[in-house]
Amino acid sequence: MRVTRGLLALTALLLVSCAHQAPRALDGSAVQDLQSIRNLKVYFGHQSVGANILEGLRAIEKESGTGPIVTDSLIGVNGEPIGKCEDFSRRIAAMTELPDVALMKFCYIDFDQGTDAAKLFSRYAATLDGLQAKYPSVTFVPVTTPLTTMSPAWKRMVKRVLGSTDAASAVNAKRAEFNQLLAQRYAGRTIFDVARAESTKPDGTRNEFEWNGETAYSMVDAYSSDGGHLNPFGERVLAEQFVHALAAAARARSARVSPAASGSDSTSR
């Protein structure tokens, strides 16, 4: 009986996994956005999850036949987010031709249980805001920090019984605090919400949990290859959101320099 139940559970798991990872066609809005940003010059500073997103972008560009002009680089060292801010600033300053849009993304591994999320966000925001003031022709798009998947339910239950902390939940809560601060600070502006895309299931509901009375989020298991990085299905989901964010940034740029605008090309903050 236990063998039969085990086989049934495994079969169900495989069917769900295949359903989640089946290729899906680009929707009309994604195709339109790709067309609208085909001449947009983008610089993206990131580490490995950013590379995953660009893999997804290349896949949908191949399917659609168009896309933005993206240059990118690995910035800083994982685990040292302040150094990433400094490296991103240096790379922008060294450019002979500025991009239209620039983005800097932290990695999930830049956070641990001891991270002061408010202090780290303050540094991130100061970096973006300082660069925006210095290079008004560039649209700097804030990016939420990526998440990881949750520990298995049985493991979380055991830790609760033993009175210990589940590290995955604790660190995702730190990331949620950072991301909430970002959403509040840049309300009304285009952001690339990596965390929302990673935590939103194909049916539109979100992977959420409560931590110390606050709502936090975790990555959807079906999007990840190892609990932190994206698999091909997750790459495509995030790449589509990347395209939508770039298109929104491009529309905001056009509005600023249109004849109806004030004539200034500086970015409002």
Positive or negative: CA dihedral 244, 246, 250, 256: positive
What's the confidence (pLDDT) of residue 150?
A: 83
Residue 7 to residue 29: CA distance in whole angstroms: 41
| pLDDT tier at 27, thresholds 50, 70, 90 | confident
Could you tell me if residue 101 is inside a domain? yes
Mean per-residue pLDDT of the chain: 86
Does the pLDDT value for residue 238 go beyond 60? yes
* Pairing state between β 208-211 and 214-217: antiparallel
pLDDT for the residue 255: 83
Boundaries of domain holding 216: 25-257
The whole-angstrom separation of Cα 141 and Cα 217 is 22
Query: 151, 211 in Cβ contact below 8 A?
Result: no
Instruction: Report how far Cα 256 is from the mean position of its chain's Cα atoms.
Output: 26
In-domain check, residue 266: no
| CATH code of residue 231 | 3.40.50.1110
In-domain check, residue 80: yes
Return the minimum-mean-pLDDT range out of 4-8, 122-126, 166-170, 192-196. 4-8
Give SS3 for 206: strand
Say what the pLDDT of residue 258 is.
57
Range of lowest pLDDT (43-52, 66-75, 155-164, 216-225): 155-164
Mean pLDDT over 206-227 rounds to 95
Instruction: Tell me the sheet residues that pair with 44.
Output: 72, 103
Q: How many domains does the chain fold into?
A: 1
Specify if 84 maps to a domain.
yes
Q: Is-contact 37 141, C-beta < 8 A?
A: no
3-state secondary structure of 112: coil
Looking at residue 167, its pLDDT comes to 84
Higher-confidence residue of 233 and 160: namely 233
- Would you say residue 264 has pLDDT above 70? no
